Chain A
């Protein structure tokens, strides 16, 4: 099959890649760029585990073809931290124990990061609505909501400081 040449900006760097027309964004991230932090849970847009940010919005990387992302700016879980320093959202997920098996965690964090970028002070309902596409089977939704509230607050204080 004829490859498609694309140029995507991932976690701060531009990549020129040759992809199959049928390659999904998640395949390219995981298989070509070794960014395996993005997880596949269902492959059909139901579970949200593969959520990444594309041009600042939360998207499901299993439902987007890599070729569609040509020219776009993509942020994955690996691109959040600055050196060894965790992003406030990552810190909050750890400190609030907002994870168990951790398989939904990268997707949930990326959905939350996109939310905060677009709406820096979300209320609990907004958080719940925005995370409703991210399934957790270990049974924990309350703690992620608390973590997002905490991260939003910490980021606000950061800016004020």
Chain B
């Protein structure tokens, strides 16, 4: 390793900065392929209905209309990661039926020469629906047995976990509080609307899709399954992306599959772009939840038991509903050392737009409830909210019962104490409430959040480091950059590990065809998981290079440096070897 940091911890310019300030960075909607068609979805006006008949005869006659794909043929991808584990479950991922489950659910897609023809064609399509009762309230939907949103019923997922004995927890409590918390639906509203892709199915049987996915390799899995193509015949290329915030963790409902279907039908590239309105009504949102929480504590503020009952509103289709609840569990149970914990959750289908991933992934819902509960408990006990947290947080060396892992680093106490000191916590908490309508207050909350999927999923990261003859480097990775800058971060890690200047590192396009398998950009994992892969690859590359130079220069690796295409002895820079030549240039060489 170099003597001092050359890239990590330095304020460097983003590797995509110039492309983004010149307008040359291509986002999905900027991609134009030769002979490209345009596509648009016809969306259901019903929250719940059966599609009986679709009549495209009038639309078909319109000049410039090229193809249709309907709900009857193109499957919906309705389950994600967790279902990839078994063949049976994998089959459930792809749903082909005639039911629309929320207002905006795609019924048909049309491909045409231009936008105007699309609009006209859609106005000529006649759809006959058989309306079904719509269920909006998850509590009603979970009791309902006559109206089933999916054939397996309205309960998408149910889980119960117990740690310790909750009855004992409440028996040992001096005080028990019980409250109900509700969280709302929330949209990512990334500045680039969700829902643009370009699909090109060629006669050689290969499908290429440009899609702003956070998970290019998983998207390839889902697309291959939906179109029944082998994985090596599906290529996903991720262009620049205008923000994701979780909402591009997979395919966009109705987008890539329908678009690819149309391309396969026409043999031409097809682009589909959702409007901002379509993004709002028909792409994934945060799951609204109702959380009942019953918490017991002793008089001096030691938590003895916590009982949590969650009802999560999945909407018409579920993709991330299991993972989101798993996050409620791990972030909730993990945070405080409560010996007796009972956790149960039910994810329920309703006739609303699909729930999915949004930053925090279940943590915000659970944390809002649990931390509100802590504040209420502190007030009831007459204990400072800061003190209550310090008394109960899970400390270094303790076991997290959900992950069954020891807590190996924990700066929470230090963080809270510093935060309290710098915010003037004690003084401000003692102040009397301000009279009048305008008030000012101070509060705190703490949180536990994971990086990556942990043990829940296969979560691989990979990178290839190629050192060129002039000492510059190509870093090849599938790490999707949604704008947060992880491609720059990975280049920094490569630079630092190799000991080669940051401006000599370039990062590959995000393309499943040319990059090794990566689980994608989710759960704040790329700097850590992607970064470890880059570090491992860079370490290996550096070791190989230095082992060769050691032999040639007669100097041990620690004494060698790499700079500007040369490897040289730190103390005697004239004793060097050029990477390109593979021959030793002695200090007396010309």
Of B127-135, B238-246, B287-295, B340-348, the segment with at least 4 beta carbons within 8 Å of chain A is B238-246
CB 8 Å contact bits of B467-486 with A (1 = contact, 0 = none): 00000000000000011110
Give chain A's interface secondary structure class: loop
B204 CB–A CB distance under 8 Å: no
Of B149-157, B186-194, B418-426, the segment with at least 4 beta carbons within 8 Å of chain A is B186-194
Of B27-35, B79-87, B158-166, B168-176, the segment with at least 4 beta carbons within 8 Å of chain A is B27-35
Q: B21 and A94: CB pair below 8 A?
A: yes
Q: Separation in Å of the B363 CB from the closest CB of chain A?
A: 18
B22 CB–A CB distance under 8 Å: yes
A55-B29 Cα distance, complex, nearest whole Å: 27
Q: Separation in Å of the B252 CB from the closest CB of chain A?
A: 16
B458 CB–A CB distance under 8 Å: no
A64 CB–B CB distance under 8 Å: no
B275 CB–A CB distance under 8 Å: yes
CB 8 Å contact bits of A120-161 with B (1 = contact, 0 = none): 000000000000000111100000000000000000000000
Known contacts A41-B193, A44-B276, A136-B191; A101 and B29 CB within 8 A of each other = no
A49-B23 Cα distance, complex, nearest whole Å: 12
Q: Separation in Å of the A81 CB from the closest CB of chain B?
A: 6
Q: A102 and B483: CB pair below 8 A?
A: yes
**Closest residue to A81 on the B side, CB-wise?**
B22
Of B12-20, B322-330, B407-415, the segment with at least 4 beta carbons within 8 Å of chain A is B12-20
Q: A103 and B192: CB pair below 8 A?
A: yes
A13 CB–B CB distance under 8 Å: no
Number of A-B contacts (CB under 8 A): 110
Task: Pick the contact of A138: B14, B24, B243 (CB < 8 A).
Answer: B243
Q: Using Cβ atoms and an 8 Å threshold, which residues of chain A touch B383?
A: none
Q: Using Cβ atoms and an 8 Å threshold, which residues of chain B touch A90?
A: 18, 21-22
Q: Separation in Å of the A155 CB from the closest CB of chain B?
A: 15
**Closest residue to A103 on the B side, CB-wise?**
B242
**Closest residue to B26 on the A side, CB-wise?**
A36
CB 8 Å contact bits of A59-82 with B (1 = contact, 0 = none): 000000000000000001110110
A33 CB–B CB distance under 8 Å: no
Q: A103 and B191: CB pair below 8 A?
A: yes
Known contacts A44-B276, A138-B483; A37 and B16 CB within 8 A of each other = no
Q: Separation in Å of the B221 CB from the closest CB of chain A?
A: 25
Q: Using Cβ atoms and an 8 Å threshold, which residues of chain A touch B26?
A: 36
A24-B241 Cα distance, complex, nearest whole Å: 24
Ordered nearest first, which 8 A-B pairs have the shortest CB separation? A37-B23, A101-B483, A103-B242, A102-B20, A77-B23, A36-B30, A94-B17, A90-B21
Question: What is the total number of residues of chain A having a CB less than 8 Å from a CB of chain B?
Answer: 40
Task: Pick the contact of B29: A20, A40, A80, A100 (CB < 8 A).
Answer: A40
Max chain B C-beta neighbours (<10 A), residue from A35, A94, A99, A103 = A103
A117 CB–B CB distance under 8 Å: no
A104 CB–B CB distance under 8 Å: yes
A105-B243 Cα distance, complex, nearest whole Å: 12
A58 CB–B CB distance under 8 Å: no
A114 CB–B CB distance under 8 Å: no
**Closest residue to B244 on the A side, CB-wise?**
A101
CB 8 Å contact bits of A80-107 with B (1 = contact, 0 = none): 1100001000100111010111111110
Q: B482 and A101: CB pair below 8 A?
A: yes
Q: Using Cβ atoms and an 8 Å threshold, which residues of chain B touch A36?
A: 23, 26-27, 29-30
A95-B241 Cα distance, complex, nearest whole Å: 21
Q: B16 and A102: CB pair below 8 A?
A: yes
Task: Pick the contact of B20: A40, A105, A136 (CB < 8 A).
Answer: A105
**Closest residue to A40 on the B side, CB-wise?**
B29
Q: Using Cβ atoms and an 8 Å threshold, which residues of chain B touch A35?
A: 23
**Closest residue to A93 on the B side, CB-wise?**
B21
Q: Using Cβ atoms and an 8 Å threshold, which residues of chain A touch B193?
A: 41-42
- Tell me the A residues contacting B by CB distance below 8 Å: 1, 20, 30, 34-44, 47, 49, 76-78, 80-81, 86, 90, 93-95, 97, 99-106, 109, 135-138
A94-B13 Cα distance, complex, nearest whole Å: 7
Q: A77 and B22: CB pair below 8 A?
A: yes
Max chain A C-beta neighbours (<10 A), residue from B14, B17, B30, B276 = B17
Q: B13 and A39: CB pair below 8 A?
A: no
Q: Using Cβ atoms and an 8 Å threshold, which residues of chain A touch B17?
A: 93-94, 97, 99
Q: A42 and B21: CB pair below 8 A?
A: no
A44-B275 Cα distance, complex, nearest whole Å: 11
Max chain A C-beta neighbours (<10 A), residue from B18, B116, B240 = B18
A116-B30 Cα distance, complex, nearest whole Å: 28
Q: B22 and A78: CB pair below 8 A?
A: yes
A100-B241 Cα distance, complex, nearest whole Å: 10
A135-B14 Cα distance, complex, nearest whole Å: 21
Q: B22 and A37: CB pair below 8 A?
A: yes
B25 CB–A CB distance under 8 Å: yes
A77-B16 Cα distance, complex, nearest whole Å: 16
Q: Using Cβ atoms and an 8 Å threshold, which residues of chain B touch A47?
A: 191
Q: Using Cβ atoms and an 8 Å threshold, which residues of chain B touch A30?
A: 30
Q: Using Cβ atoms and an 8 Å threshold, which residues of chain A touch B483?
A: 100-103, 138
Q: Using Cβ atoms and an 8 Å threshold, which residues of chain B touch A137?
A: 188-191, 243, 245
**Closest residue to B17 on the A side, CB-wise?**
A94
Q: A101-B190, A105-B20 are in contact. List 10 more A-B contacts (CB 8 A).
A: A39-B191, A43-B275, A93-B21, A100-B483, A102-B25, A102-B240, A102-B483, A103-B27, A103-B483, A138-B484
Q: B18 and A41: CB pair below 8 A?
A: no
Q: B20 and A99: CB pair below 8 A?
A: yes
Q: A41 and B14: CB pair below 8 A?
A: no
Task: Pick the contact of A43: B16, B276, B482 (CB < 8 A).
Answer: B276
